[in-house]
Chain A
Amino acid sequence: MARIYVIDDDAQLLRMVGMMLQRGGHVTTLINDPTEGLEAMRRERPDLVVLDVMMPYLNGHDLARQIRATKGLEDLPILILTARTQEVDRQTALSSGADDYLSKPVSFQELMDRIDVLLHRQDEDVSAEQNGLVLAFYGLRGGRGQTTLAVNVAASLRRLSQQEICLVDFGPLGSQSLMHFRLPAPSSWVDLAMVGELDWAGLLECTRVHSSGVRLLPVPAPLHAPMLPTAEMVQQVVDVLRKQTAVTVLDLPPVVNPAFRAALSVADMAFQVLTPDLVSVQTAVQLSQVLTQHQIKPRQRLFILNHVAPDAQLPKTAVERGLDARIALEVAYDANQMLALTQGIPLALTKSDSAIPAFAGKLAHALWQHAVANTS
């Protein structure tokens, strides 16, 4: 339960957001005048504030700036909730000092998820932030290009940072990432199960290192399928990797098994990959429901819309409507990917400037900045 101030000049929306937050177990103070809201926060600091943007006399961006400039409120979590829904509005919200942005109308679940993330971030132990970043790529349907994105982001991160980057493969039908890197697999999670002490030295023995420097922990071949990683193993491996690597990239299986649940629960950022078609959207919605049922809450969850074919069945806006959530990242169709897979060289390691390496480069840059900021 947190004390949350909601500031919006629209009385109807103010009540609606207030009711949602109360339903989520929070204590709310509803304020329809932004100047009054700032005064109230100065008198008594809440745990979090939800701001509208379009308010007369003092708009939400300026209010966020004033909050950041106020002694004692510099680190107050701010969530901007606005009817201005364009990408530029999101950027402006974040640059004005807000921690997160949501467009109206907002669903109960989406609002609760974002509030939880902001409150959780506030509570995080500082020492934990000084460890490496753990990313997860996931989804329930095959053919979404999930491994392609995980591999290319890992390769871009390595290229950019020159630090230890480990890609952990969870594929249920043998290691897809090995194919992307064209690496042999004399070791895998199976060997890890035989290691007595699960420490960095033990892990090193079971990983492969690509010439790019990316370290890879593959899954066993299908014949060893019964030896898929357990939840305990995942937890231990991620704990070790978090301490020893700059970034760990988890490429999760397309099935909600114990390893999937454990991995998603410990990831700092989780990227749900889907394609612009009806089946993929339905599967993504079902997966979200399953995660809610199992109470699996990644610290930060972002949707990636990956165009694996030249023609999209659904426009992005339709996908967002189906998901009832915003697509954070979009990857255009890249005709070079098939050749890259055949050659065993991820596009991010070539001189190609096509869609996938461009996306992976941008995301890696943003992630690396985030990782550096957290450790400085």
Chain B
Amino acid sequence: MGTSRYGRATADLDLFTDAYRITGRALVGAGGFQAELESSSSSYLEMEDVYISRINQPGEIVASYPTAVFRKDNINFIMVQEKRSGSGAGGAQFGRPLFTRGRPVAVFLTVPSFEIRGEVQQEGKVVLRELLAKSLGQFQPLQAAQASASLYPDISYSSDLLFVHKERIGIFCLAG
């Protein structure tokens, strides 16, 4: 976790909408990034130093701004850059956040424009419906995640920790 120009804590991340990749720093409260994401008091995610790329050329920066807000409903998924954020996003060590328990279960899912592979940490029997229940949060964390652009399968991204918007999920498959 870093600090914003106004002294607030920040988390470095890559955020993906249907057509854009946005790299920047999200402003987070005392509860950390996941709490900010799940906060019902704001429909927006505030960010600083954002760099915007199109998903067909995700390395090229088409615009950059010092501040921005993003509608949470419009976010497909977010990759937290653990290497830069340190333990701020959940105390991750060797790719597994310490707060999670249970066993890793491999999943494959789709959101608009992307396919995502990763692992969910699950205790006991895995029930897909329960995983997607909105009452348990709007975003589902995945560990050891890899996302590929559906129309540009050569372009892929990997991250220790990814948060996928449950309402944007089209297909959700479970291994085993």
A residues within 8 Å of B by Cβ?
53-57, 59, 61, 83-89, 91-93, 95, 103-105, 314-318, 321-322
Separation in Å of the B109 CB from the closest CB of chain A?
19
B156's nearest neighbour on chain A, judged by CB, is: A87
Q: Which of A56, A315, A322 contacts B144 (CB 8 A)?
A: A315
A278's nearest neighbour on chain B, judged by CB, is: B94
A62–B90 CA distance with the chains assembled, in angstroms: 35
Cβ contact within 8 Å between B64 and A89: no
Residues of B within 8 A of A87 (CB): 156-158
Find residues 53-107 in chain B having any chain A CB closer than 8 Å to their own CB.
57-61, 64, 66, 81-84, 94-95
| 17 intermolecular pairs with C-beta atoms under 8 Å apart | A54-B49, A54-B51, A54-B61, A55-B64, A56-B66, A61-B59, A83-B12, A83-B84, A85-B81, A86-B58, A86-B157, A88-B157, A89-B59, A95-B59, A105-B83, A317-B159, A321-B94
Separation in Å of the A103 CB from the closest CB of chain B?
7
Contact (A59, B95) CB under 8 Å given A85-B81, A85-B83: no
Separation in Å of the B1 CB from the closest CB of chain A?
13
Separation in Å of the B106 CB from the closest CB of chain A?
11
Interface centre among B51, B57, B82, B160 (most CB of A within 10 A): B51
B149's nearest neighbour on chain A, judged by CB, is: A88
A60's nearest neighbour on chain B, judged by CB, is: B61
A61–B60 CA distance with the chains assembled, in angstroms: 8
Residues of A within 8 A of B158 (CB): 86-87, 316-317
Q: CB of B23 within 8 A of chain A?
A: yes
Contact (A318, B59) CB under 8 Å given A54-B23, A85-B81, A87-B156: no
Separation in Å of the B81 CB from the closest CB of chain A?
6
A13–B156 CA distance with the chains assembled, in angstroms: 28
Residues of A within 8 A of B64 (CB): 54-57, 59
Contact (A84, B66) CB under 8 Å given A93-B59, A317-B160, A321-B94: no
A56–B144 CA distance with the chains assembled, in angstroms: 31
A349–B92 CA distance with the chains assembled, in angstroms: 43
Contact (A103, B51) CB under 8 Å given A54-B61, A317-B158, A321-B94: no
Cβ contact within 8 Å between B84 and A105: yes
Contact (A317, B95) CB under 8 Å given A85-B81, A86-B157, A88-B157: yes
A83–B24 CA distance with the chains assembled, in angstroms: 10
A316–B157 CA distance with the chains assembled, in angstroms: 13
Q: CB of B155 within 8 A of chain A?
A: yes
Residues of A within 8 A of B51 (CB): 53-54, 59, 84
Residues of B within 8 A of A85 (CB): 81, 83-84
A235–B95 CA distance with the chains assembled, in angstroms: 43
Residues of A within 8 A of B57 (CB): 92
Find residues 1-58 in chain B having any chain A CB closer than 8 Å to their own CB.
12, 14, 23, 49, 51, 57-58
A86–B83 CA distance with the chains assembled, in angstroms: 12
Cβ contact within 8 Å between A321 and B83: yes
Nearest first, the 5 A-B pairs at minimum CB distance are A92-B59, A318-B94, A59-B61, A315-B95, A315-B144
A19–B64 CA distance with the chains assembled, in angstroms: 28
Q: Which of B23, B61, B155 contacts A83 (CB 8 A)?
A: B23
Residues of B within 8 A of A61 (CB): 59-61
Residues of B within 8 A of A92 (CB): 57-60
Residues of A within 8 A of B84 (CB): 83, 85, 104-105
B152's nearest neighbour on chain A, judged by CB, is: A88
A315–B158 CA distance with the chains assembled, in angstroms: 11
Residues of A within 8 A of B156 (CB): 86-88
Separation in Å of the B52 CB from the closest CB of chain A?
11
Residues of B within 8 A of A318 (CB): 94-95
A61–B12 CA distance with the chains assembled, in angstroms: 20
Residues of B within 8 A of A93 (CB): 59
Separation in Å of the A85 CB from the closest CB of chain B?
6
A73–B84 CA distance with the chains assembled, in angstroms: 32
Residues of B within 8 A of A317 (CB): 82-83, 95, 144, 158-160
Residues of A within 8 A of B144 (CB): 315, 317
B24's nearest neighbour on chain A, judged by CB, is: A54
Cβ contact within 8 Å between A84 and B83: no
Cβ contact within 8 Å between A83 and B59: no
A42–B81 CA distance with the chains assembled, in angstroms: 35
B2's nearest neighbour on chain A, judged by CB, is: A12
Separation in Å of the B141 CB from the closest CB of chain A?
15
Residues of A within 8 A of B59 (CB): 61, 84, 88-89, 91-93, 95
Residues of B within 8 A of A53 (CB): 51, 61
Residues of B within 8 A of A86 (CB): 14, 58, 156-158
Separation in Å of the B15 CB from the closest CB of chain A?
13
A56–B82 CA distance with the chains assembled, in angstroms: 24
* Further 6 A-B residue pairs, CB within 8 A, beyond A86-B158, A314-B95, A318-B94: A54-B49, A54-B64, A83-B84, A85-B81, A87-B158, A89-B58
Cβ contact within 8 Å between B157 and A314: no
A315–B117 CA distance with the chains assembled, in angstroms: 13
